[in-house]
Structure 1
Amino acid sequence: MSWRDFWNGEHAIYVSPRHKTLHYRQIATDLIAHIPSPEATVLDHGCGEALDAARVAAACGKLFLCEAAPNVRDKLRGQFGRLDSVMIASPEEVAALPDATFDLVVANSLIQYLSRDELKDLLATWHRRLKPGAALVLADVIPPDVSPLTDATQLLAFGWRGGFFLAALAGLVCTVFSDYRKLRAQYGLSTYTPEAIGDLLREARFVDIQRPANFGHNPHRMTFKAVRPA
C-alpha cells in the first residue's frame, strides 16, 4: 500500500465527524486569508475532501481542487460538481494546464507524503502555472524535531477546544494499530528545516519567502509563502 492507496481508501485519520468538519473549516479559513482578490483563480493541490470548499470558492473567481486519489475526486465531484466556479482535477490535469493560470497555489499537509524529487517536480509545475507576481503557499510542513507525541498532544488540545476530546483520545489508541502507522513506519514522512525549504524554493526560482502562521491546529508545524517573480 502506498500513501495514495491509503488516501484513496477508507481510513480513520479523522477521529470523528466533528473532527473532520472542524479540520476542513479551519483549513478553508486559513486558505481564504491568502486569496489575493475576489477574482483570483486558486489551486488547492492535495485538497483531500475539502468539505468547506464552497466557502473558499465564494471568496475567489475560480477554485481548482486537485486530488491524486480517484475515489476522493469522485466525492468532490458529488459534492461540488454543480458549482460553476469549482473545477475538480488530478495532478496530471493540473500539469497540463496553460502556464500562468493561477493567482494562488496552496498545498496544505501534502509535501510530507512526497519524496524530495517529487516535491522538486511539483515546485517546477507550480512555478509555471502561477502568474508572475502570484504566490505559492506550502502549509503544515513538518520540521525534523516535531515528534508524533507532539502531534498527538496537539490533536488532544484541538479535541478539547472543539468538543471531541474523548474521540481524539480513542482515535490515538486506534492509530497504534492502523494502516497510517504502518505506512509511516514503512515510508516515513518527509520533514524539512526552514533552511531546506528556503533552498528548494529559491532553486525553483521563487522569491520573497515568508513564514506566516501555520494552517490548521498544530502551531509546531510550518507554513511558507513565496512568490513567482514578476
Structure 2
Amino acid sequence: MEDWIDYYDSTHTIYVSKLHRDLHFQIIARDIIGYITSPDATVLDYACGEALSASQVASACGQLILAEPAPGVRGRLIARFAPDTKIRVRSLDDVRNMQDQTIDLVVMNSVAQYMTSEELDAALRNVRRILKPTGKLVLGDILQPHVGMARDVTALLSFGLRHGFLKDALVGLVSTALSDYRHLRSRIGLQRYSEGEITAKLKAAGFASQRATTNIGHNRWRMTFIARPPLTR
C-alpha cells in the first residue's frame, strides 16, 4: 500500500477536472450519509482521501473521524476542517490504537484495491474490534476479477457525459495513460476480488455480510458489501 500512499500524496492527475473531483466526493458523501442510521452516530471514514464533502457527512452524524494514511493529505484535512468541531482527522496508526467497540459505522471505500490481501485482512480484523456490537462496516468500490480497465473507462465517460465534463474526461484518459498512475497500476496492479472471496474475508474477520444492491460512487461495475458483527444469542 505504501507506493499508492506516496502516489496519492503527490500532485496526481486521477481527477480529470475540478468538476469531476468535486462531484466524485459529493456523490460519495451522499452515499455514506445513506448508511448513517442515527444523528448521534460516530462514523469512521477509513483512508478517506481529500474528503472534500466531509462536512455534509458530519452534519448527518454525531462525530466524523477522517482516517488518512498520506501525511500531506492528512495535513490538508486538518487545515480544511479545523473549524468543524464534529470532524477529527487521524492516521491509520491512530485507528489501530482506538478503543474497542467505540464506532457505529466504518466506511472503507475504494481502499481494498490498493492493499495487499494480508493488509486488508488485518484492517478488517481491526475494524471488527472497534465496531460496536450494533455497528456496521461498509466496504465499497471492490474491483471484480472479470471486470477490466475498459469498464472503468466506460464508467468515467458515462459520468462525464451525464455531468458535463465529457471533453475533460477524454483528455484526462490520455493524460492518465501517460502518467505515473498507469505505470504504477501496471507495475503493482490493483487487488481484485470475487463476491465469494470478499464474503470469505469478512467472515474470517468475524463479520456477517451481504452485497449491497448498488456500489458507492458512480461505477456500477464495482461492488459494495455491508458487514455487521453477528448477532449474539
Identify the TM-score tier after normalising by the shorter chain: over 0.9
Secondary structure of 1:225's counterpart equals strand
Compute the TM-score of the two structures, normalised by the length of structure 1.
0.98
Secondary structure of 1:2's counterpart equals helix
CA RMSD of aligned residues (A): 1.0
Q: Tell me by how many angstroms 1:84 deviates.
A: 0.9
Contact 1:36–1:103, Cα closer than 8 Å, also in 2 = no
Q: Tell me by how many angstroms 1:209 deviates.
A: 2.5
Q: Tell me by how many angstroms 1:212 deviates.
A: 3.3
Q: Tell me by how many angstroms 1:211 deviates.
A: 2.2
* 1:181 paired residue number: 182
Q: Deviations over 1:62-95 (max 9, x none)?
A: 0000110000001111111221110100000011
Percent identity of equivalent pairs? 46
C-alpha separation in 2, matches of 1:209 and 1:175: 34
Q: Deviations over 1:139-178 (max 9, x none)?
A: 0000011111110011000001111100000000111110
Secondary structure of 2:48's counterpart equals coil
Amino acid across the alignment from 2:80: Q
Q: Tell me by how many angstroms 1:208 deviates.
A: 4.0
Contact 1:36–1:104, Cα closer than 8 Å, also in 2 = no
C-alpha separation in 1, matches of 2:199 and 2:26: 29
C-alpha separation in 2, matches of 1:225 and 1:212: 10
* 1:193 paired residue number: 194
* 2:17 paired residue number: 16
Contact 1:133–1:229, Cα closer than 8 Å, also in 2 = no
Compute the TM-score of the two structures, normalised by the length of structure 2.
0.97
Aligned length: 230
Which segments of 5 or more consecutive residues in structure 1 lack a partner in the other structure? Answer: none
C-alpha separation in 2, matches of 1:206 and 1:165: 40
Contact 2:199–2:209, Cα closer than 8 Å, also in 1 = no
C-alpha separation in 1, matches of 2:202 and 2:3: 26
Matches within 5 A, 1:54-93: 54-93=55-94
Give every structure 1 segment of 4 or more consecutive aligned residues whose post-TM-superposition deviation is greater than 2 Å.
208-212
C-alpha separation in 2, matches of 1:54 and 1:229: 31
C-alpha separation in 1, matches of 2:218 and 2:14: 15
* 1:120 paired residue number: 121
